[in-house]
Amino acid sequence: MRKIIIDTDPGQDDAVAILLALASSEIEVLGITAVAGNVPLALTQKNARIICELAGRPDIKVFAGAKRPMLRELVTAEHVHGKTGLNGPEWPEPEMPLQDTHAVPFIIETLREQDAGTVTLCVLGPLTNIALALVQAPDIAPRIQEIILMGGGFFEGGNITPTAEFNIYVDPHAAKVVFGAGIPLVIMPLDVTHQALTTARRIEAFRALGNRSGIATAEMMDFFERFDEEKYGTDGGPLHDPNVIAYLLEPDIYKGRKVNVEIETASELTMGMTVVDWWGVTDRAPNALWIKDLDDDRFFDLLIRRFKSLP
Ligand code: RIB
Ligand code: CA
């Protein structure tokens, strides 16, 4: 059983990642912590609860975290995700409660209470909550089993600027804290997520499941993909965040390399760039497993197989 905390800014692709985790008996979700990102925090925490209720899991503890990045102003992505962040289906108002505790103390207390090295952080949005926890309680760093995060881009460049991917761009200083903390990191960058496209056939496979989770997922993808289809001229858009959870379940779907990754925080032109020493041309120590390729058919087959067990 892998114990995880999901840190997230739902976001349709975050929603699919959360559903995959809740559909997988190998995973115990200790809590879901929301962060400002795709849309403001008031919406990301609400959207996280909407998805837990869609999955029939109103028992999951959802926490609200940082309202804005550590230093920079918040940049959101309504142009991709829509005004609510979960555009596509019609959603009922969530009834399950938001936890009173702030996400950052929840992350700290959970890591201190659980046996060292047994909790994985699955990070699907800007890294603000994680960095705040590490700054406030450096003792938790060696207690984290692994951080698996969707973020960055090197061979694919950026998606919010020519050089930066959204999650890192929104809070580059938080990313710098996390990448420099000496914690085992697995990075799912645009280099791999751009190969995971929600083609028409794949969306129909979700709809054909016939359960409310499959149908809602198809409707979320119908909405979410339109911006990237237009931009990249592809059949379908990249399904980013579920790769973080899929890596936990079937890591051999993925191929990568241990490399050094540094974060640009000085130049406005390249702010938030993940500078990857892929060819080992510096003496900077490797600090992350950078995933570059996947078997996209196996990824979508895994999603469909697991989604069968959802309501
Ligand atoms: O750049 C893609 C990432 O930014 C995904 O996590 C998406 O949900 C947005 O947060
Ligand atoms: Ca996200």
pLDDT of residue 215: 98
Do 18 and 41 contact (CB within 8 A), yes or no? no
Question: From CA 37, how far away is CA 52, in angstroms rounded?
Answer: 19
Atom of ligand 1 nearest to the CA of 13: 8
- Structurally, how many domains does the chain consist of? 1
Question: From CA 111, how far away is CA 145, in angstroms rounded?
Answer: 10
pLDDT of residue 77: 95
Which amino acid, 272? G
pLDDT of residue 49: 98
According to the 3-state scheme, what is the secondary structure of the chain? CEEEEEEECCCHHHHHHHHHHHCCCCEEEEEEEECCCCCCHHHHHHHHHHHHHHCCCCCCCEEECCCCCCCCCCCCCHHHHCCCCCCCCCCCCCCCCCCCCCHHHHHHHHHHHCCCCCEEEEECCCCHHHHHHHHHCHHHHHHEEEEEEECCCCCCCCCCCCCECHHHHHCHHHHHHHHCCCCCEEEECHHHHCCCECCHHHHHHHHHHCCHHHHHHHHHHHHHHHHHHHHHCCCCCECCCHHHHHHHHCHHHEEEEEECEEECCCCCCCCCEEEECCCCCCCCCCCEEEEEEECHHHHHHHHHHHHCCCC
Do 174 and 131 contact (CB within 8 A), yes or no? yes
Which domain covers residue 64, as residue numbers?
Answer: 2-307
Question: From CA 270, how far away is CA 282, in angstroms rounded?
Answer: 19
Which tokens is 56 given?
């029939």
Do 178 and 134 contact (CB within 8 A), yes or no? yes
Counting ligands in written order, the one closest to the CA of 227 is 1
pLDDT of residue 73: 98
Counting ligands in written order, the one closest to the CA of 81 is 1
What's the gap in Å between 290 CA and the centre of ligand 2? 18
Mutational test site, ligand 1, from 7, 8, 13, 130, max ligand atoms within 8 Å of CB:
13
pLDDT of residue 249: 98
- Report the chain (311 residues): mean pLDDT per 10 consecutive residues: 98 98 98 98 98 98 98 96 96 98 99 98 99 98 98 98 98 98 98 98 98 98 92 95 98 98 98 98 98 98 98 98
pLDDT of residue 97: 98
What's the gap in Å between 224 CA and the centre of ligand 1? 11
Residue ID of nearest Cα to ligand 1 atom 8: 11
pLDDT of residue 144: 98
Counting ligands in written order, the one closest to the CA of 79 is 1
Question: From CA 257, how far away is CA 94, in angstroms rounded?
Answer: 41
Which amino acid, 133? A
Residue ID of nearest Cα to ligand 1 atom 1: 166
What's the gap in Å between 149 CA and the centre of ligand 2? 10
Compute CA distances 143 → 26, 72, 117, 140, 248, whole Å: 21, 29, 5, 5, 18
What's the gap in Å between 283 CA and the centre of ligand 1? 31
Residue ID of nearest Cα to ligand 1 atom 10: 125
pLDDT of residue 59: 98
What CATH code is carried by the domain that includes residue 115?
A: 3.90.245.10
Atom of ligand 1 nearest to the CA of 9: 10
Q: pTM of the predicted model, to two decimals?
A: 0.98
Q: Residues lining ligand 1, CB < 6 A? A: 9, 11, 13-14, 37-38, 124-125, 150, 159, 165-167, 240-241
> What's the alpha-carbon Rg for the chain, to the nearest Å?
18
Active site residue 240: yes
